[in-house]
Amino acid sequence: MGKQSRRKRLIVKHNPAQTPADLPVRRPGKFILVALTALVLVTILFLTSSKPVRKSESVPQRSVPTAESSADETKVAMKKLLEDRPRLIHLLKNVTAGDQEGTMLAAFLEDEGRFTRLLANHQTIEMAGNTTFKVVIASRPDRIRAGITRRSLLDNQFIFDADERALIIPELGEFTDLWGGVVATHELRHAYDLIRNIERPHSTGDEFHQGEVRAYELEIRLLDRYAKGAFTKETRAVQESHRGEDGDPYKHEDRPRLDAFFPPAVGVDEGAVRSGLYLTAVYFAGIDPKSKDVARQKRRIVAMLYERLAAK
């Protein structure tokens, strides 16, 4: 796969009908916009359209609107941004509570992430602060409306874009808080690794696969913590149940066994992310923890899954 989408998560799209959201609609508090305007820095060009887009991609495309973002649009975006920042930080702290690495990453987001929202004309509205990376909250309609044509950015998914140093996340509420938080933590791990020089941008081979292993191990641990240990236990049971069979040790029909520990998925995007994580987790569960090369085996599994994804 092209390097633009290297950080794209392993998404498995074979979802059955999705269950409706189980989350209560959160009523945001009132904000005094005038006072908060001071927090907003500038609007800047973002996600430039000059980057190549392969012809073969059947991506809905739009011409970039020529009008400037209206004052109203800016106001609304600002209000949402100021609601979303504490909400996302709170959500991340909840999901990572009790996990040292996860807690460190939640603090990294709070301390170093510059929260932005996408406006028309590829512009973003940003909050002030001393920051090392951007957090872009953008729904699929936002992404299309802003004229983004990059395939990897059009999916309503969580992505860390190394070129832009941007953690791009869907609108809050489009995933359950649990899974949105867990998946955001995966991408935050990539952001952290890049910014702290733990991993080079556009890494390849073992370095890239090890980065993915780090992120997936973290996700699996957070989910397991939520399920009080029952999640990884069940991934082992799923693995066992397919012993001796051809193909993957996780089949689509196993999904309810693993979903049982979590709130129902909000929609197909979350469903696809879950399938990718379950597949990885069940493969990992097949590794003998006593073997000497667990890390290498995990890298191999990730390499195999990403190769398969790239071939699609």
Note the residues at the interface with Zn ion (CB under 5 A): 212, 215
Query: Which of 63, 192, 220, 11 has the alpha carbon at shortest distance from 1?
Result: 11
Q: In this complex, which beta carbon is closest to Zn ion, that of residue 8 or of residue 85?
A: 8
Question: What is the strand order of the sheet 133-137 is part of?
Answer: 40-45, 123-127, 113-118, 133-137, 166-169, 159-161
Three-state SS for 84? helix
Q: Cβ 133 to Zn ion, closest distance in Å? A: 15
Closest approach, Cβ 169 to Zn ion, in A, equals: 14
Q: Which residue is nearest to Zn ion (CB)?
A: 215
CA distance 163 to 101: 24
- Taking the C-alpha atoms of residue 147 and residue 49, their distance in angstroms, rounded to an integer, is 8
CB of 120 to Zn ion, least distance (A): 30
For the chain, report the end-to-end CA distance as a whole number of angstroms: 9
Residue among 122 and 160 whose Cβ is closer to Zn ion: 160
The Cα–Cα gap between 238 and 218 comes to: 20
Of 118 and 167, nearer to Zn ion (C-beta) is 167
Closest to Zn ion by CB, 212 vs 269, is: 212
Q: Residue 3 CB, nearest distance to Zn ion (Å)?
A: 14
C-beta of 46 vs 192, nearer to Zn ion? 192
| Rounded-to-integer distance, Cα 275 and Cα 8, Å | 14
Q: How far apart are CA 87 and CA 119, in angstroms?
A: 20
Closest approach of Zn ion to the CB of residue 280, in Å: 10
Nearer to Zn ion, 142 or 212 (CB): 212
CA distance readout (Å), 312 to 10, 250, 273, 305, 307: 12, 19, 17, 11, 9
Minimum distance of Zn ion from residue 234's CB (angstroms)? 23
How many angstroms separate the CA atoms of 217 and 213, rounded?
Answer: 6
Closest contact distance (angstroms) between CB of 61 and Zn ion is 26
What's the min distance (Å) between Cβ of 301 and Zn ion? 14
Q: Which is nearer to Zn ion, 212 or 270 (CB)?
A: 212
Q: Compute CA distances 35 → 113, 117, 142, whole Å.
A: 21, 19, 26
Q: Quick one: CA dihedral 263, 268, 270, 274, positive or negative?
A: positive
Please say which residue, 126 or 181, places its beta carbon nearer to Zn ion: 181
